[in-house]
A and B are shown apart, each in its own frame.
Chain A
Amino acid sequence: MSATAAIPAGESPTRRAIKRFLRHRLAVFGLIIVVLFVAVALLAPLIAPYDPLQTSWSRIRKPPSWDHWMGTDENGRDVLSRVIWGARASLMAGVISVLGALLLGVPLGLLAGLAGGWTDAIISRVADAMLSVPFLILAIALAAFLGPALENAMLAIAITASPVFVRLSRGMALDAKSTDWIEAARALGNPPWRIAFVHVLPNIIPPLLVQASLAIAEAIIAEAALSFLGLGMQPPNPSWGSMLNSSQRFLTQAPWLSIFPGLTIMIVVLAFNLMGDGLRDALDPRAERR
């Protein structure tokens, strides 16, 4: 070993995780599909062949053709264009509502885990109560209470999804609290908020990330379900769920109306799940040790 050899800055835990993730083929495949759909959603005005709201009496419920790859709907609108624009509503609903759930759930979970006592008991019991109601039922009830609109649907999904994050971050915070490095942080004179956000939070991000990517898939389904029930995106604006809603009457005469939005939901949800699985493997704390 030559003493003058330059010492590189060292490899951070994050970089090691990225390396492991990239070795996971299915996960990378999922990531590519997710990125593709995000691009489609962002570039919708450029790549959609038709105006998604343009109706036409001469092209009602036409099967897929070269002009309309996914056919046309009951008002003569191009299904492909509507699926492309619908990606906006669905991905936004997925990502924003999960972000909301994180923002709501993680601080509460950290507080419960680190403070303990009564604070913990109250927060945990409320989270448990919410978790005891099936996800969709709670989301539907909340969305119905808030009124039919995409924003309200996202808010409802965010609130419904947050208890999972409360529980997860509380458990991880409890775990961290008993470690030497958290006691060391206290011994150094860190105030409680710094322990929570500077020491505990960065260390619990891996499981949160995994849970979030799986929750996005769930939120997309929830948004579709709410829109299907008329509680999400309002007509005539397209979202995959509302497209399924209006296509159910033509399931036998015009199956392409439901097949394409349904298939798209399936592919996106699958992609998020694959990505989440890959993240879990890459961020496995047991693999973190040398």
Chain B
Amino acid sequence: MTALLELDGLVKRFPVRDALGRRAGAVHAVDGVSLSVAEGEVLAIVGESGCGKSTLGRLMLNLITPDAGSVRFAGEDLTRLSAAALRARRRDMQLIFQDPFASLDPRMTVEQAIAEPLRLHRIVPRDQERARVADLLARVGLRPELARRWPHEFSGGQRQRIAIARALASRPRLIVGDEPVSALDVSVQAQVINLLSDLIREFRLTFVLISHDLGVVRHVADRVAVMYLGRIVEEGPAEQVLTAPLHPYTRALLAAVPGHGAKAPPIEGDVPSPIAPPPGCRFHTRCPFAEDRCRVTVPELSAGPHRVACHLTGRLPPAPPRPERAAGGERLRRLQSFFRAPGPQPGAQP
């Protein structure tokens, strides 16, 4: 497997200004992230809200420019491309947003929205546009007759399907999904996750799933990267990270899944301010195992397929036994079994 996307030492800080407009520090949203995503792989990025997941997703597509580091897509450094060359490259990488009520232009019909990438990148001749849109709508489980409708006439799940169709239109190689189902009802979440995993297989997509929902992650991810305060603390094959976590933070995250049987020491307190992140290991303020060294030296990510950034690796008490399948995943699977069967989706509800 070759790497489609390689992030190297990415840093993004957002300046914070005081009431007079002077610089009063910066939010360390992403602080030295190196990561690679292989062609055809589904990588999940998990972490609490505010840990920099979404910023990292935007950086991957160079929608925001990093303060340091590089983003290589198919061997090409996106941060060095001209504006026009980058626009042309966007054909190959797409983004799915969290809030389907905000991500569609309210003044464009479904057809116009989905046809836009086709036109921008001259993918099909104009006379075949309509057929292509109908085809895409069918792929995401919507009736092609709905093409002439406006976003306000659809439910959240249907809008998200439209957004997915739009993301697929240019046949991208990489799609970043920024919490693509977390704004949806639970029943609809299962449908949309099923749809996504079907499409990932069908189009052999490379997919980066940004999510805080470990049930969803477990269901689709090949690999998982855990983020805490702008840094990656653990990264590896999904089943290893999710069943045998090495980092205390990952353990705590897993233990926090509701209905989960195993008891790990709960994490206390809130995430420290990203404006002044703690020195040393950023997790030491909440880590039950923290030693003196953790408060001073920043732990580096280890090498190998399952990487972890912790001084205590190998010396932690063994992770509490976990049932092979967590309850969260089980619930999702049960829900999915309900929605797999009925075949084509019903049209727009009046």
Contact = CB atoms under 8 A, between A and B. Distances in A.
Interface of A: 1, 3, 7, 9-13, 179-181, 183-191, 194, 199, 202-203, 288-290
B183 to A, nearest CB: 11
B148 interface: yes
Given A7-B143, A10-B109, A188 B94 contact: yes
B107 A202 contact: yes
A11 B120 contact: no
A125 to B, nearest CB: 15
21 contacts: A1-B347, A7-B146, A10-B148, A10-B153, A12-B107, A12-B109, A179-B102, A180-B102, A181-B106, A184-B104, A184-B163, A187-B61, A187-B95, A188-B94, A188-B120, A189-B170, A190-B120, A202-B107, A203-B107, A288-B106, A288-B152
Interface stretch (B85-93, B234-242, B326-334): B85-93
B347 A188 contact: no
Interface of B: 61, 63, 84, 87-91, 94-95, 97, 99, 102-107, 109, 116-117, 120-121, 143, 145-146, 148-150, 152-153, 163, 166, 170, 346-348, 350
Nearest to B103: A180
Given A7-B347, A187-B63, A189-B87, A181 B148 contact: no
A180 B99 contact: yes
Given A1-B350, A7-B145, A183 B120 contact: no
B90 A185 contact: no
Contacts of A187: 61, 63, 90, 94-95
Contact of A180 (B97, B116, B117, B148): B97
Contacts of A10: 109, 148-150, 153
Given A9-B148, A203-B105, 10 more contacts: A11-B150, A11-B153, A13-B150, A181-B102, A184-B163, A188-B94, A188-B170, A189-B117, A190-B87, A290-B152
A289 B97 CA distance: 19
Contacts of A189: 87-91, 117, 120-121, 170
B63 A186 contact: yes
Contacts of A11: 150, 153
A13 B152 contact: yes
A68 to B, nearest CB: 52
A250 to B, nearest CB: 54
Contacts of B117: 188-189
Contacts of A1: 346-347, 350
Contacts of A3: 347
A13 B166 CA distance: 21
B120 A199 contact: no
Contacts of B95: 183-184, 187
B287 to A, nearest CB: 35
B106 A203 contact: yes
Contacts of B88: 189
Contacts of A288: 106, 152
Contacts of A13: 106-107, 150, 152
A3 to B, nearest CB: 8
Residue from A9, A12, A180, A203 with most neighbouring chain B CB atoms (10 Å): A180
A192 to B, nearest CB: 8
Contacts of B90: 187-189
Nearest to A202: B107
A224 to B, nearest CB: 37
Contacts of A194: 120
Contacts of A180: 97, 99, 102-103
Contacts of B152: 13, 288-290
A288 B103 CA distance: 16
3 smallest CB-CB distances across A and B, nearest first, come from A10-B149, A189-B90, A180-B102
A276 B87 CA distance: 40
B15 to A, nearest CB: 14
A12 to B, nearest CB: 6
B104 A181 contact: yes
B156 to A, nearest CB: 11
